[in-house]
Amino acid sequence: MATHSGHRGFAAFWEWMNRHEPRGEKELRARTAGGCRGVTVEFGFGAGANWAFLPEGIDYLGIEPDHYMRARAATHARPLTRGFELRDGDAQALDLPDESVDTVLATLVFCTIPDAAAALREARRVLRPGGQLRFCEHVRPAGKVTGRAMDGIAPAWSRLAGGCHPNRRTLETIERAGFELTEIEHTKIGPLPAILGVARPAPGVPREA
């Protein structure tokens, strides 16, 4: 696989942020990652902030395209006793067979993946029937004024924050990709509106939809 570009400064900042996350944000991670089961693929594991909350006994594969993030995460991976694999990879084009995964885990990544819809279609393709997409993502504010304000600052925000787009309508994108929601909660991550939830491939929708 081709080498992906990385964000050296943002990777250092993100690792620092993970170490100093408020208790409430750690609880969101615990609720999201703690429900993983079976063969689990994490999109954009970053500096490994979710690893402490993964249950024992899963078969974990982490995908992360930023080599600076992977290097920082590797320093946290050594003490873990569960078996897991870390890869340079692209969530928009997974090197995995159809219906081979029980859980796809995604926290604060669909704002950054260039084509979030493509990544969600890939998630749906690799999930087995009954498999779960477990997510915690910040989203565009619903208010007319705040939403437009976020649209306005998005280009500068993206340049400073490693490609993050704070104005994505991720919940709608999840549903359009052929998922049905089984759990959804509207919350906040810092000052930003966020969604926490679980979705599964909607029955009767072709994987390539």
Q: Which of residues 26 and 206 earns the better pLDDT score?
A: 26
Region of residue 37 (left: phi > 0; alpha: psi -120 to 50; beta: else) = beta
Q: Let me know: does 91 contact 122? Beta carbons within 8 Å.
A: yes
What would the pLDDT profile of 172-204 be if each residue is shown by its tens digit? 999 999 999 999 999 998 888 999 999 999 987
Contact between 48 and 33 (Cβ < 8 Å): no
What residue segments make up the domains of the chain, in order of their start?
8-201
Q: Using the structure block, give the residue that is written with the tokens 């340049």.
A: 159
For the chain, what percent of residues have pLDDT higher than 90?
56
Q: Which CATH superfamily is domain 8-201 in?
A: Vaccinia Virus protein VP39 (3.40.50.150)
Task: List C-alpha distances in Å: 31 to 17, 27, 39, 181, 205.
Answer: 19, 6, 18, 16, 28
pLDDT in tens, 16-43: 567 778 888 999 999 999 999 999 999 9
Q: Is the pLDDT score of 77 beyond 90? A: no
Instruction: Indicate the pTM of the whole model.
Output: 0.87
pLDDT tens-place string over residues 85-125:
999 999 999 999 999 999 999 999 998 899 999 999 999 99
